[in-house]
Amino acid sequence: MTCRRGALIVLEGVDKAGKTTQCNKLVQALQDSGRHAEMMRFPERSTKIGQLINSYLENKSNLEDHTVHLLFSANRWELVPLMKEKLEQGISLVVDRYAFSGVAFTSAKPGFSLDWCMNPDIGLPKPDLVMFLQLNPSEAAQRGQFGTERYETSVFQKAVQQKFELLMKDPSVKCQVIDAARNIEDVHADIKNHSVNAIIAAENEPIGELWK
Ligand code: TMP
């Protein structure tokens, strides 16, 4: 590898926390400061697997809970060659949801252990930084109604939040909790600062393997 690799930066959090807005602003800010950066999101709904997931999320089809969990994971794995290629070209990837959403959402369903949920994602490219946008359920509710997709209820989101909090305690992943209750620009400044530090720290490090 001749050039410095890009960093894998993940934004996680419950619905309404502002992940997508912040991912877009971060990519723009990194590009404006002369860095190579691109955004990705999971689920990536454009692939064949992504289309199955999309139809499930829009309540147009039903899938068995284990099956859909594995499809979400497969949707990440199918993009791993592209992710690695971009990182090795020196492009930093800003990712809207990753394996942490996968584990938090499925393990919030009855009968799913954290371990079972983590297994299919073991070995994915390890994020150089995960930022968890934290917003309590009452503040999230003030940001407007949930949409009509599956999982968009406050009871389920509360259960998901608890699972996220467990995952963020894992010392093997570099994680930063971000107070998402502040205004968009303050949250952005915080996220940009952490991201620039992560990009510099990752430059000469090999890409790690998640949960290994
Ligand atoms: P989105 O609204 O960010 O596109 O996410 C779609 C929904 O899919 C959201 O409710 C979170 C959920 N999800 C999972 O259940 N498992 C996963 O692995 C991912 C990435 C998202």
| Helix, strand, or coil (residue 4) | coil
Query: Cα of 153 to ligand 1 centre, how many Å?
Result: 13
Per residue in 147-176, pLDDT tens? 889 998 889 999 999 999 999 999 999 999
211 occurs within a structural domain: no
In the numeric block, the tokens 């393997």 are attached to 209
Per residue in 2-31, pLDDT tens? 589 999 999 999 888 999 999 999 999 999
Backbone angles phi, psi at 88, to 5 degrees: -70, -25
Query: Cα of 41 to ligand 1 centre, how many Å?
Result: 9
Domain count of the fold of the chain:
1
CATH code, domain with 149: 3.40.50.300
Q: For residue 26, what are the domain limits?
A: 8-206
Per-residue tokens: 121 = 């994602």
Please indicate whether residue 92, judged by its CB atom, sits closer than 6 Å to ligand 1.
Answer: no
Query: Cα of 75 to ligand 1 centre, how many Å?
Result: 11
Beta strands in 36-147 (DSSP E): 37-41, 92-96, 129-134
Q: Yes or no: say if 92 and 203 are a contact pair by the CB < 8 Å rule.
A: no
3 occurs within a structural domain: no
Average pLDDT value for residue range 38-66: 98
Please indicate whether residue 102, judged by its CB atom, sits closer than 6 Å to ligand 1.
Answer: yes
d(CA 188, CA 197) in angstroms, rounded, equals 14
Please indicate whether residue 43, judged by its CB atom, sits closer than 6 Å to ligand 1.
Answer: yes
Beta strands in the chain (DSSP E): 8-12, 37-41, 92-96, 129-134, 175-179
